[in-house]
Amino acid sequence: MHTEKKDLGHIREKRAFIIDMDGVIYHGNTLLRGAAQFVEWLKREEKRFLFLTNSSERSPEELSQKMARLGIEVGATHFYSSALATAAFLASQKPGGSAYVIGEPGLIHALYRAGYTMNNVNPDYVVVGEASSYNLDTLIKAVRLVVAGAKLIGTNPDLTGPGEGGLVPACGALVAPIELATGKKAYFVGKPNPLMMRHALRTLGVTREETIIVGDRMDTDIIAGIESQIETVLVLTGVTAESDISRFAYAPSHVLEGVFEIPGA
């Protein structure tokens, strides 16, 4: 169903790259084949690039440090997460508001920087991201606050994410029990929400025609590109296998085994 399977010359000609991280550059703390060479190629060819991740756990500084530990030197300005997108969205909706947050420091710090305060009594929003602290007590608290009138926000709709040992539950799976218990639907800010893609294009200072998005998920990365009219590359190093592609009513522009194919020899 996909169109050009491997038009590498066309991909390499693009001026800007929006790149997912988990399943594209690394799995957990394991660097994927050719990832370092791909980033070096981006720098050498003076491409504009932004790592766009639905993970809300880490700040751009932490993501930069993680990449450095894996052997890739990239400054914090090259990272944008669903945590930052969520904080920006809430600040635009209700400046100076408050939130009850189920999430990691990257999300909490992003909200603080956007002028938000933490509130577990009568918050404007209940915000859910990936969280190791998620348990029955936090779930009960979130449900009661949403029932009392707080609006429910998810940093991203991913049900699962890739980990070193296999798939792990992600934000969408953690939000689902709150939705079921309250009858309220969450608003998800991360991919495939076009808000994320528009921010990426603004940050890179490019048009959508000059840009290509590289990701491993049909249900977030590829549909995000399609809905934002940005060309897409699906890499088969993460969540979506080649046999899965035909299950979707849309197709990526290109399918590659991994980012190692892009720089070429």
If you write DSSP's letter for every residue of 118-183 in order, what string do you get?
E-SSS-SEEEE---TT--HHHHHHHHHHHHTTPEEEES---SEEEETTEEEE-HHHHHHHHHHHH-
Q: What 3-state class would DSSP assign to 59? A: coil
For 148-173, letters b (16+ CB in 10 Å) and e give eebbbbbbbbbbebbbeeeeeebbbb
Strands 166-169 and 160-163 come out as: antiparallel
Kindly list the strands in the beta sheet with 16-19, ordered across the sheet, starting from the edge strand earlier in the chain: 79-81, 48-53, 16-19, 211-215, 231-235, 254-256
Strands 151-154 and 160-163 come out as: unpaired
Q: Catalogue the active-site residues.
A: 20, 22
Sign of the CA dihedral with 33 first, then 35, 37, and 42 last: positive
Those residues whose C-beta lies under 8 Å from the C-beta of residue 93, and which sit 6 or more positions away, are none
